[in-house]
Chain A
Amino acid sequence: MYEVLIIGSGAAGLSAAIYSARYNLSTIVLGKDFGLASEAPIVENYPGIREIQGLKLIQEMQEQAKSLGAELILGEEVTRIKREKKYWLAETHSEKYLGKAVIIATGSRKRKLGIKGEEEFVGRGVSYCAICDAPFYRGKVVSVVGGGNSALTSAILLSEFAEKVYLIHRRTEFRAEPILVDRLMNLKKEGRVEMKLGYIPREIVGTDVVEYLHLKKVDEEGVEEKLKTEGIFVEIGEVPNSELARNLGLKLDEEGYILVKEDMSTNLEGVFAAGDVTTGSNKLKQIITACAEGAIAATSAYRYITRKYQ
């Protein structure tokens, strides 16, 4: 029996664990991976740390949570959360964990393009993790799809390895921070990045590996283009991992995010949520907001446990 079960081991879950452990609550973190932040090639907007690799930042958070006494079980996917009398039970494939309060911090996953050839060429040119796979594309021509921070960061990273990077974006302006756009424009001037704005991918074509990405113009019917490219990095946003929450009976918004109040509580007493999976922080999906929500959720869990069990 634990006081706090934390489902998810990304920035939100680990921050919740740090706060929960410091409230002297027995805390366990169950995580199937390390969250999207760990795949960020470089993080430059987490205050106090001028620049750090996403994975290093997450590893530091893991060490901090462990040193404070939180238990971390990684590589264990929670398959179900359910009420067990007045407690909450989290089941993995092999174990069961009982807790007085639960914090759901299951984050989000990369959205897929949903076009022909995408599934087929995963691992043979299609990638969702630039930092993992960039070194395999040394001297090659690659494409990045998207216009947010992740897409631009990936394009900038890939330009260090690839001979040329195409950036494909359906709009003509970027959602990404202006500082990243400026860097991208510099790379464009140097001829290392070429923009394909107002285009969307239509099909991925190749024999053994990716050879071409077919594009079509968004606002001109029938205008198509074949891009010769060996790598396609998909960075078109995220979808919330809210299946566990839905099955538990948590209320979600129309996009599938867990509806939370300011104190990170949900519609079920004793169940809190934090990070990218929630409607909190105006859905600004950043490490800093995930951490903040984790801290608030742990504090609310502490108050709940204190009120209910003492």
Chain B
Amino acid sequence: MTDWELERIRMKKYMEMLRKMENKGKGEERGVRKLVKVEVNDGNFEEEVIERSKDIPVVVDFWAEWCMPCLALAPVLEKLAKEYNGRFVLAKLNVDRNPQTASRYGIMSIPTVIMFKNGKPVDSFVGVMPEPMIREWLDRNL
């Protein structure tokens, strides 16, 4: 399976999830759709993560296509990013294509998730965690 196909499947899942959540939210008051997810790379990490985190917490998901646990964690993070609706921004960083940033933060296992606030990493976790534990981690750090 090519990267493109994989991405397509992921996007399809993501879109399905968005639709599902939109249906759930019907009848409730919903605010303006906020930015919840960005793709980042070695080139724009400074601006998209470090600078942005001075205004709003940024949660960076260090992942790679060859890593199945990463693919299992991704939809959970994306769902939570959507649900928290702008209280943090989820940034996806592919460590395969962006080795500089991965090495700068000493990534040795993926998935690794790091929260940035005020330009600095404040907390992280490694591996797939169950959703309630990720919620707890977010609530503790936000």
Contacts and interface: CB of A to CB of B under 8 A. Distances in A.
Interface of A: 31-34, 38-39, 53-56, 58-60, 74-75, 77, 93, 122-129, 131-133, 135-137, 208-209, 231
B86 interface: no
In the A-B complex, list the 3 residue pairs whose CB atoms are closest, starting with the nearest: A123-B126, A75-B75, A33-B72
Contacts of B128: 32-33
Contact of A93 (B71, B124, B131): B131
B1 to A, nearest CB: 6
A132 B132 contact: no
Contacts of B106: 124, 208-209
A123 B108 contact: yes
A151 B62 CA distance: 25
Contacts of A58: 68
Question: SS class of chain A's interface: helix, strand, loop or mixed?
Answer: mixed
Interface in B104-142: 106-110, 112, 124, 126-128, 130-132
A199 to B, nearest CB: 24
Contacts of A75: 72-76, 79
A132 B72 contact: no
A23 B6 CA distance: 28
A135 B1 contact: no
Contacts, number: 81
Contacts of A208: 106
B13 A77 contact: no
Contacts of B132: 93
B69 A124 contact: no
A32 to B, nearest CB: 7
Interface string B52-68: 00000000000010111
- Quick one: which of B71, B102, B124, B128 has the most chain A CB within 10 A? B71
A53 B6 CA distance: 15
A43 to B, nearest CB: 13
B109 A33 contact: no
Nearest to B68: A38
A236 B119 CA distance: 40
B108 A132 contact: no
Contacts of A38: 68
Contacts of B18: none
B93 to A, nearest CB: 14
Contact of B110 (A74, A122, A132, A209): A132
